[in-house]
Chain A
Amino acid sequence: MNWVDWVILVVRVAVVFFGLLIAVMLYIWMERKVIADMQTRAGPMRAGPRGILITLADGIKLFFKEGITPTNADRVVYEIAPILAMFPAFLAFAVIPFGTHVTLFGRVIQFQLADLNIGLLWILAMTSVGVYGIVLAGWSSGSNYPLLGSIRSTAQMISYEVAMGLALVAVLMYTGTLSMSGIVAYQATHVWNIVPQFPAFVVFMICALAEVNRPPFDLAEAESELVAGFHTEYSGIKFAMFYLGEYVNTVTVSSIAVTVFLGGWRGPHPGWALWLWPLLWFLFKLTMVMYVFMLVRGTLPRMRYDRLMNFGWKVLIPFGLFWVLATGAIIVFPDRYGRMRGTFIAASAILGVGLIGSLIVPLLQKPTQEVPS
């Protein structure tokens, strides 16, 4: 590598970083507008045309606000927690391919920061590290409600990470690669993963909502129960970092959904400006997924904590395990018994297991009775 490569690397990192910041800024504005529309309100209107600069104004305000550290806080951890919550979100985005490539200065520049061969693993690892930010924030605040929030988020994240991992394992088995660009390339020659892996897609979307602490799974910051949850004691720039990290996480998780299930940046293009259309396709799909998240937020109330855990452990994880097995059957049987017969066997096996399971599972459950105390 000579100096040109280094400059290109730095510029790529900077472009992705600031691009992500601007995207997050716009998505926060979009979310506020969309939710407002659903509630027949107008939403932000004052800062910039139709309030598009509201996030910038909010950011500037938070930046200049006083940061208060509680007396009981564990100072070092208290300072580190928001950083831990924000940076893994950015790091996870590094492996997302958001376009093809351009040729500049005789070099091919990929629209992906790092094409790791363990891309999916990297994403799972980074989302897990991000949980530490929330947990440590609640723990180090030296205050009760943040502690409750962080305990909740610990349990929630661990439970839903398992199911999310299972959903991604099914896709990884199906496509046969952990690399994000490999998954996109696989979907270019086959149908999008959302069709053959639809159950995994549903599990992934539910777990993604829980992973990034969005409603209806925002128990860690349930404002009607825990003041503001884990970030109750944070103010100023540190609170801004939590806020930013949460939305960067949302964008990252949505782009994982786009890349893994919805064909990534691929889409029809008119044949000119070949580098531009993939970018636009990626943004379009990302916006669609974000809109679904916003619609869910506008519709569903927050889940009760025990129901959240029940749903995670008793529904999502068993179903994820079942679907991993089913995916295995789908992959193995056609190879072994020939294409037609194998597909038939796999389909009937899955159907049979599903039917028997749906008969057995209700028998195992005791009828729940809500007894007034």
Chain B
Amino acid sequence: MSEQPRESEPREPEPLRAPEPSPVGRPPEPQGLGASAWAMAKGMATVFKQTFRRDNTEHYPNVIVPVPERSHIGRHLLNRHENGLEKCIGCELCAFACPADAIWVEGADNDPENPVSPGERYAKDYQVNYLRCIMCGLCVEACPTRALTLTSYYEMAFTSREDAIWTKERLLEPPPPLGTDPVDREG
């Protein structure tokens, strides 16, 4: 192969042949009916052995496996300061950060006599639509006052579109222990 074929010349197509067995790795599988039958028998023995392994299934409503203590995989929680004032200042950064447009915040000026939150502004209404929310946690990252965090509570079954929208009152309540939501229990 001393000279390069020029591009204009049609090249002789290479004869098609079966790919060479690769030199590394296992030797090629033996062919034929006997070998296939033996392979099938071995496969079935393997599958049969699996029968005696323990199931991986979590029997969820009957046995609730606790999630890791510091996991933040579930619904939102609006936090309060130790003196009872809300941390949320109604800045709407969480709503802007939300890629699914699941959060709706309505800010308002605090009444100086009777403030809801320590600053000038507070969240008059705060709603999370769990039909939209994808639990990505970007809202938590966006929150400048750590007012919004995720909890590890995931039992949020609902039976109507209205129930999917959680309002501020519900979001302020810390989540109950898992397995106590009456909607989630089978009736």
Residues of A within 8 A of B (CB): 34, 36-42, 45, 295-296, 298-300, 315, 362, 369-372
Interface contact B56-A300, CB-CB below 8 Å: no
* Any A CB within 8 A of the CB of B57: yes
Given the complex of chains A and B, what is the CA–CA distance between A36 and B43 in angstroms?
17
Q: How many residues of B contact A (CB 8 A)?
A: 20
Interface contact B47-A40, CB-CB below 8 Å: no
Top 9 closest A-B pairs, CB basis?
A42-B57, A369-B18, A299-B47, A371-B16, A37-B51, A299-B44, A299-B43, A42-B55, A38-B50
Contacts of B33 in A (CB 8 A): 315
Q: Looking at the complex, which one of B19, B46, B55, B59 makes contact with A40 (CB distance below 8 Å)?
A: B55
Q: Looking at the complex, which one of B17, B18, B43, B53 makes contact with A300 (CB distance below 8 Å)?
A: B43
* Any A CB within 8 A of the CB of B26: no
Contacts of A299 in B (CB 8 A): 40, 43-44, 46-47
Distance from A47 Cβ to chain B, minimum over Cβ atoms (Å): 12
Distance from A288 Cβ to chain B, minimum over Cβ atoms (Å): 13
Interface contact B50-A37, CB-CB below 8 Å: yes
Given the complex of chains A and B, what is the CA–CA distance between A295 and B43 in angstroms?
10
Residue of A nearest to B48 (CB): A295
Interface contact A39-B16, CB-CB below 8 Å: no
Contacts of B17 in A (CB 8 A): 369, 371
Given contact pairs A40-B53, A41-B57, A295 touches B18 in the complex (Cβ within 8 A): no
Contacts of A371 in B (CB 8 A): 16-18
Interface contact B47-A38, CB-CB below 8 Å: yes
Interface contact A41-B44, CB-CB below 8 Å: no
Contacts of A34 in B (CB 8 A): 51
A-B contact pairs, 27 of them (CB 8 A): A34-B51, A36-B55, A37-B50, A37-B51, A37-B55, A38-B47, A38-B51, A39-B50, A40-B50, A40-B54, A40-B55, A41-B56, A42-B55, A42-B57, A42-B59, A45-B59, A295-B44, A295-B47, A295-B48, A296-B44, A298-B47, A299-B44, A299-B46, A299-B47, A370-B18, A371-B16, A371-B17
Distance from A367 Cβ to chain B, minimum over Cβ atoms (Å): 9
Contacts of A40 in B (CB 8 A): 50, 53-57
List which B48-76 residues lie within 8 A (CB) of chain A.
48, 50-51, 53-57, 59
Residue of B nearest to A292 (CB): B44
Distance from B93 Cβ to chain A, minimum over Cβ atoms (Å): 44
